[in-house]
Amino acid sequence: MRAHVAARVSVASRAAWFLCLWLVLAGATLDDVPAAATAVGAATWTSLRFLAPGSSRLSPRALGRLVLLFLYHSIVAGADVARRALDPRLPLRPGFVAYPTGLPPGPRRNVFATLTSLLPGTVPAGDQNAQIFYHCLDVERPVIAELAAEEEALVRALYND
C-alpha cells in the first residue's frame, strides 16, 4: 500500500514539473490546454517508463550544498578557463583522466556525468569498467579530487537512501 502511495506521489510530482516546464516554455493560454495536457501526460508516462519511481529520498540540505558546490566550481573553473584562453602563452596541458566512480551504470552515473559536463574545463568522453574518462584542459589540476567531491555531494543530495 505504501509503495502505491509513493508511486502516485511520483506521478503527480513529475506531472507538476512537466506542467511548470510547459508554462515556462509556452506560456499559459486556454487555447493550449489540450496540447499542454497531451504533452504533460506523454512526458510523465515516458519519464516513468525510463526512470521508474525509486525509494530514494531528496535531502534539501544536501541538495543546497550541491548547488553551492556546483556554483563555486563553475565560477572558479570558468575564471580559470577564461584566464587560459586570454593568456597569450595559452597555458594548457590537455589530456584525459580516468575517474573511478562508485556509481552503478544507469541513471545515477548519467546524472553525475551530466552534472560534471557543465563544469568548465572537463568533458566526459567515455565510460568503461566503472570509470568515466574526462577530457581536461589541464590534467595537472586536481581533477580527480574535484570529481570525487562532486560525486559525494550528488550522492548525499539525491540518493539519501
The domain spans of the chain are 2-50, 60-158
| Per-residue confidence (pLDDT) for residue 161, from 0 to 100 | 47
* Torsion, Cα of 90, 93, 98, 102 (10° steps): -50
Instruction: Please tell me the pTM assigned to this model.
Output: 0.59
What's the pLDDT tens digit per position in 8-65? 777 888 898 888 888 888 787 788 888 889 999 999 888 888 777 765 566 778 778 8
Cell (9 digits) for 112: 553525475
What is the Cα–Cα distance from 140 to 117, expressed in whole angstroms?
18
- CA nearest to 144, candidates 98, 111, 94, 105: 98
Radius of gyration from C-alpha coordinates of the chain: 20
Return d(Cα 13, Cα 5) in angstroms, integer: 12
What percent of the chain is predicted at pLDDT more than 70? 91
The three cell numbers locating residue 53: 519511481
State the pLDDT confidence band at 97, using cuts at 50, 70 and 90: very high
Q: What spatial distance separates the first Cα and last Cα of the chain, rounded to whole Å?
A: 20
